[in-house]
Amino acid sequence: MLFVELALIRWTGSNVIYLSYFSNFVLLGSFLGIGVGFLRANAKVNLFRWAPLGLAALIGFVHVFPVKIDRSSTDLLFFGEFQRSGLPIWATLPVIFVVAALVMAMIAEGVARTFVTFAPLEAYRLDILGSIAGIAAFSLLSFTGAPPVVWGIVVAITFAWLLGRELKGNPASMLQAAALLALVLVLSGESLVAGDYWSPYYKISLRGLEDEKVWVLVNGIPHQLIESTEQRRAQEPFYFLPYEHRTSRSPPENVLIIGAGTGSDAAIALSQGAGHVDAVEIDPRLAQFGRAFHPDRPYDDPRVDVIVNDGRAFLEQTDRTYDMILFALPDSLTLVSGQSSLRLESYLFTIEAIGAARDHLAPGGVFAMYNYYRQPWLVYRLANTLQQAFGNPPCVDSFGKPAAWLGVLEASSSPGALTCDTRGIAGARSLAIPPPATDDHPFLYLRGGFPGLYVIALGLILLVSLAVVRATAGPFRGMSSYLDLFFMGAAFLLIETKNVVQFALLFGTTWFVNALVFAGILVTVLAAVEVARRVRFARPARLYVALVAALGVAWIVPSDWLLALPAPARFVAAVLIAFSPVFLANLVFAERFRDVSASGVAFGANLLGAMVGGMLEYTSLVIGYRSLLLVAAALYGLAFAFGRSHLVAEAREPAGTAPG
């Protein structure tokens, strides 16, 4: 179930560009579907056998109506001057949400029908073990660069094994086999396209390999252009401005490039006489393509060290100093995961990140950044950030045209290190420039307030979810006795999200860190279940007190304090602070869940709560990620209030005994 969820989030995001910024919608649809599936654990009609058809239908819809580019929204920011293909957002997102929910409901119903045959905690334990296996398998395939057809084969084989005996001799078996075959064939056709590759982050397409220029597209978006330094100077001379604005006539000895991509910026640095270049690129595939296809072969030059890592993490880990640091178009065009609104480059543009870059400059060193932006206010927001970080007005070169506002900014702590015609944010007073982004609120592209498109979309999701749950489970009073589990699910999703973004800040937004965090959460959940299976707590209400205290500690300890620690100490402190609430939250859940009378309904309510928690995650766009812990604490307060009668009953049971 988790393997299919992760695969859907990844695959749909690669074919529907809206989901590069709304991947949480697939997650929300999955939680809704899984919750509904568990509510149907005792239904007369078993929908699990039809799951292959539902999955094939979803794959078919996305394959027939892909959305490659969208540049039409004013709430969501994109770069470049491209037009989208496919259906409009108001048609695409609802279909994907509903069908994803339907597919996951069918799969979850199969899980639920087995789930209810075990004692509640034993079923939960097996569910967590299966989740660990699912995330491990998908992470391994991502690491090896396996294309979607491999994911499809894994899913098809698993379905065939699970359904084989049940459908043997059943006329429906032909439909199942046809659906699984169609699923694999569609994914095969996509996976075998010449020039298409898969990295841990997105689908990468190379076009024009036989020409002098090679276009690099990610998830269907033109992302980079591999061409020679001479061509770059003729067509995009802004790449050379940071070197031209230096007052020093001697070439920079040491250069750091963050967002090195396929090597064009490194080639330019070498052409300007750089003695040494550290080229930091988060995607190993892009670095590989630069080594293979760049005509200037910068990554083969002994003066260049290619470092596959997150840029902010590298700044926190290195003790080197540089004469020039470049943030070279670090625009990932994708989110860290389906569970947060954090983009891969979000922590590069905060005031704290710019300060970290400043601290790695040698005396007289220059910091520069450039990118294409949709609106001029973004250029000046970054200029204001540089001015606050460096204490001097930065050089600002901007070249405007609709939907592709180019900004080149340079700054230095030494006022005389740069010479340029335009400095600071003079002339931008009428743009209502937002303050600098911060590590707690790293949403550079959000101008202010809550995007109207999100309000509409989340409102519709809530209405659809209420209607679906009502139609599936009947009157809501049937779940009223499990409202505490509902609020637990919502709160726990927020804790998960906070841990994902916390570790992304502390150790990098790489896919590996992300996979380790999810695996660590699941292992911690499993540990809590194992403790609960062996020990009964005489006063389970005290677990709530310990949980709220742990959330309070996580809220009090600032991220910059953790960032200041050496890497080993930072890891230990981060694990203790982040996973203590996870462990205690699952002790609270397990103590309540062990004695439920209807484990399918109870677990379904918990999963539907997680869906609501996924919607509440969007409040971080306004209140920041740190405050999500306060929201989680409030939700656990509601769980305590609605589950207090169960706590009183449990307190009467003898302590220290194993569950019966």
Q: What pLDDT score does 658 carry?
A: 39
Q: What pLDDT score does 475 carry?
A: 66
Residues 34 and 107 in one domain: yes
Domain coverage including residue 516: 463-660
**What count of Cα atoms within 13 Å lies in the side-chain half-sphere of residue 443?**
22
Residues 377 and 326 in one domain: yes
Q: What is the dihedral of CA 511, 342, 255, 238, to 10 degrees?
A: 120
343: DSSP letter = B
Quick: pLDDT tens for 123-133: 999 999 999 99
Residues 385 and 307 in one domain: yes
User: Is position 443 within any domain?
Assistant: no
Residue 279 bridge partners (DSSP):
257, 306
How many separate domains does the chain show?
3
> Last residue of some domain: 431, 453, 479?
431
Q: In which element (H, E) is residue 83 found?
A: none
Contact yes or no for 272/298 (Cβ under 8 A): no
Give CA 206 to chain center in angstroms: 24
Total number of residues shown for the chain: 660
Contact yes or no for 67/21 (Cβ under 8 A): no
Residues 584 and 639 in one domain: yes
> Last residue of some domain: 382, 413, 431?
431
State the CATH number of the domain containing residue 275: 3.40.50.150
Q: In which element (H, E) is residue 370 found?
A: strand 361-373
Residues 44 and 189 in one domain: yes
Can you tell me the distance from the alpha carbon of 39 to that of 602, in angstroms, rounded to the nearest whole number?
8
User: Is position 562 within any domain?
Assistant: yes
Q: What is the pTM of this model?
A: 0.87
Residues 506 and 571 in one domain: yes
Q: What pLDDT score does 249 carry?
A: 86
Q: Residue 82, class by beta-carbon neighbours within 10 Å (0-12 exposed, 13-18 middle, 19+ buried)?
A: middle
Q: In which element (H, E) is residue 135 found?
A: helix 120-143
User: Is position 35 within any domain?
Assistant: yes
Residues 355 and 493 in one domain: no
Residues 285 and 397 in one domain: yes
Residues 483 and 617 in one domain: yes
Q: What pLDDT score does 303 carry?
A: 97
Residues 388 and 240 in one domain: yes
User: Is position 547 within any domain?
Assistant: yes
Residue 322 bridge partners (DSSP):
361
User: Is position 339 within any domain?
Assistant: no
Residues 98 and 238 in one domain: no
User: Is position 52 within any domain?
Assistant: yes
Residues 600 and 482 in one domain: yes
Residues in the chain with pLDDT values less than 70: 20-23, 68-86, 165-172, 211, 332-341, 374, 400-405, 426-431, 473-478, 648-660
